[in-house]
């Protein structure tokens, strides 16, 4: 439960709204109990045909309690949801900020589908922590204690019976139900995350799976995940239903015992008929309020699991902690120097060891080697996503001043170093919006010039709406080469002085790859360019130096 308390503390900014909601919830529940008691007294007294003036106070009270219950409940729900949404909004910002700091290592830590489940499912589900657990639970507890005290003053035995049945229905049964539901609640959220991760993998790789005849197997595996998840949900539902049934039996049994005790008091003359009705009917109204604890307790294990999974993201170690005194990347042309560099992801064995090279300002270099030898990890280190294990990777200015990417101010680093990734992401928006991702204030003329530079001018002229043309989800309206060139245009617009191009010849044939490489290097003339590729035959005569990291990588048995 420590994770639950941690999440509740994260919502401290809304504590006054939550406190007000608890007070309003308790008032609404108290008016419901008072309505039941007053109505019972009024019905019995009216049957005795007293003067009507003797009933006026009770009649007005019934009207006031009936109206007040609805008004108070509405205001309480409004305030509770407002507090919950404010807390969840702040929590989403924190999770996104943490995920951004963990990029790109968060996919290695949690998996893409699992991270999405934590961000969407866990955060949204935690709304119940305030809406269905905290506020109703505290309100029900307050009303229960008050009702026991009030009923004890009217009939001590009735108060004792109510206290015993409330402990049974509001404490023992919920705790037992929570214990039974704990295993299902603990396993349901990870199972839901696995299901979502497998579903995303199936959707993304459906064509490849169908081509190789593996689609049916993956669908069967997904169906098995769904059956397992449905089984957990059914067990949780049965547990909650059983706990609710026991709570109802406790309320009914308490009413019978209260009726028996009240009958004895009525015979002794210590209680009149109206008092008997109050003693019997008020506990039923109180139990209706306290019955909220049963579903609340049934939800606690799942909410605790969601809280733990969310706290895992918030507490995940940042692979690149913000430096105490971040350095600004120097202006002007930049060289890239590696000195006895050892690279690897946190918590894994090194991928690349004792790497040294120097790319002068405005120079061109290629980093080659087989897949899995750390080429993309080198790019991530240069972009400041992961620190070097040993040695140094430096951006060096003309005056000799140097700064390591992980020690640099992130804003100045990302202005200085650009990245054209292997499979560039194209957003489901317009051509202009995808380009302005690199420079939001770029004019239409600047966008057209960038596209012309990467030989997309004719392509742009052929689009139905020009820069306002939608490119579709993941750029489905573009070919692989067009996506690569669009990503290059973004790098050009960013003004980056060091450009890392990761596997630019992937997904294209040799003829297209040759033209694409020539265009890339021509467009980036004057900038420091590092091309990461396993196609040495295509790149070696187009750059000044080639660094083969295959011989410097860790043995295959050590690769993470």
Instruction: Select from 1.20.1560.10, 3.40.50.1390, 1.10.3720.10, 3.40.50.1220 the CATH code of 2-315.
Output: 1.20.1560.10
Q: Is 531 helix (H, G, I), strand (E, B) or coil?
A: strand
With b for 16 or more beta-carbon neighbours within 10 A and e for fewer, the 493-518 pattern comes to bbebbbbbbbbbbeebeeeebeebbe
Of 112-121, 141-150, 326-335, 400-409, the poorest mean pLDDT is in 112-121
Whether cis (ω within 30° of 0) applies to the bond prior to 141 is no
DSSP symbol at 318: P
Structure-token pair, residue 482: 């067009």
CATH code assigned to 334-558: 3.40.50.300
> What are 21-53's pLDDT values in tens digits?
989 989 998 998 899 889 988 888 888 888 888
The alpha carbons of the chain give a radius of gyration, in whole angstroms, of 34
Cα end-to-end span (Å), the chain: 34
pLDDT in tens, 244-269: 788 888 888 888 888 888 888 877 87
Do 334-558 and 2-315 have the same topology in CATH? no
Query: Which residues, in sequence order, are bridge partners of residue 529?
Result: 364, 499
User: Mind spelling out the 3-state secondary structure of 354-367?
Assistant: EEEEEECCCCEEEE
pLDDT at 64 over 80: yes
Starting at the edge strand found earlier in the chain, the sheet holding 390-397 runs 352-359, 334-343, 390-397, 402-403
Contact, 8 vs 124, CB < 8 A?
A: no
Q: Quote the crossing angle between the two packed helices 215-268 and 293-315, to the nearest 10°.
A: 140
Q: What is the pLDDT of residue 559?
A: 33
Geometric angle at alpha carbon 243, from 237 and 246, rounded to 5°: 140
Q: Rounded to whole angstroms, how far apart are CA atoms 174 and 299?
A: 10
Per-residue pLDDT for 197 more than 80? no
The overall longest dimension of the chain from CA atoms, in Å, is: 110
Which two structure tokens, joined as six digits, stand for 337? 């120097």
Q: Which residue has the tokens 């790497």?
A: 355
User: Is the model's pTM score more than 0.75?
Assistant: no
Domain spans in the chain, listed from the N-terminal domain onward: 2-315, 334-558
């Amino acid at each position: 439960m420590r994770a639950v308390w941690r999440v509740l503390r994260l919502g401290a900014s809304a504590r006054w709204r939550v406190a007000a909601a608890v007070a309003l919830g308790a008032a609404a529940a108290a008016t419901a109990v008072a309505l039941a008691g007053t109505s019972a007294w009024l019905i019995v007294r009216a049957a005795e045909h007293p003067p009507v003036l003797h009933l006026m106070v009770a009649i007005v009270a019934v009207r006031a309690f009936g109206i007040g219950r609805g008004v108070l409940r509405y205001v309480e729900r409004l305030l509770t949801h407002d507090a919950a949404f404010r807390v969840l909004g702040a929590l989403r910002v924190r999770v996104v900020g943490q995920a951004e700091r963990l990029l790109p290592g968060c996919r290695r830590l949690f998996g893409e589908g699992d991270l999405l489940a934590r961000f969407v499912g866990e955060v949204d589900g935690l709304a119940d922590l305030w809406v269905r657990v905290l506020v109703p639970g505290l309100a029900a507890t307050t009303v229960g204690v008050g009702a026991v005290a009030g009923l004890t003053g009217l009939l001590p035995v009735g108060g004792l019976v109510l206290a015993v049945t409330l402990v049974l229905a509001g404490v023992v049964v919920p705790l037992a139900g929570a214990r039974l539901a704990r295993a299902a609640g603990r396993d349901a959220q990870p199972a839901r995350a696995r299901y979502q991760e497998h579903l995303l993998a199936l959707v993304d790789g459906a064509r490849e799976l169908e081509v190789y005849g593996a689609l049916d197997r993956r669908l069967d595996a997904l169906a098995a995940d769904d059956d397992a998840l449905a089984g957990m949900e059914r067990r949780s539902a049965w547990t909650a239903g059983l706990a609710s049934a026991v709570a109802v039996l406790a309320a009914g049994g308490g009413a019978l015992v209260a009726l028996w005790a009240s009958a004895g008091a009525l015979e002794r003359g210590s209680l009149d008929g109206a008092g008997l009705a109050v003693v019997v009917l008020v506990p039923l109204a109180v139990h209706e309020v306290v019955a909220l604890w049963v579903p609340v307790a049934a939800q606690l294990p799942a909410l605790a699991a969601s809280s733990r999974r969310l706290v895992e993201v918030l507490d995940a170690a940042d692979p690149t902690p913000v430096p105490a005194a971040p350095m600004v990347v120097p202006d002007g042309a930049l060289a890239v120097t590696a000195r006895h560099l050892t690279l690897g992801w946190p918590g894994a064995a090194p991928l690349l060891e004792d790497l040294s090279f120097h790319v002068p300002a405005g120079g061109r270099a290629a980093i080659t080697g087989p897949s899995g030898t750390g080429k993309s990890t080198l790019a991530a280190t240069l972009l400041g996503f992961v620190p070097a294990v040993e040695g140094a990777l430096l951006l060096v200015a003309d005056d000799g001043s140097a700064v390591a990417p992980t020690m640099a101010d992130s804003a100045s680093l990302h202005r200085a170093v650009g990245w054209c990734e292997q499979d560039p992401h194209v957003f489901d928006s317009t051509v202009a919006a995808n380009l302005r991702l690199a420079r939001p204030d770029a004019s239409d003329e600047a966008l057209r010039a960038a596209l012309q530079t990467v030989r997309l001018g004719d392509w742009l002229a052929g689009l139905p709406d020009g820069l306002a043309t939608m490119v579709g989800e993941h750029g489905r309206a573009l070919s692989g080469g067009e996506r690569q060139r669009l990503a290059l245009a973004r790098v050009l617009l960013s003004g980056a002085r060091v450009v890392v191009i990761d596997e630019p010849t992937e997904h294209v044939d040799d003829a297209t790859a040759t033209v694409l490489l020539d265009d890339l290097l021509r467009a980036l003339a004057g900038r420091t360019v590092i091309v990461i590729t396993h196609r040495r035959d295509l790149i070696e005569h187009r750059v000044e130096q080639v660094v083969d990291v295959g011989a410097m990588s860790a043995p295959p048995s050590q690769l993470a």
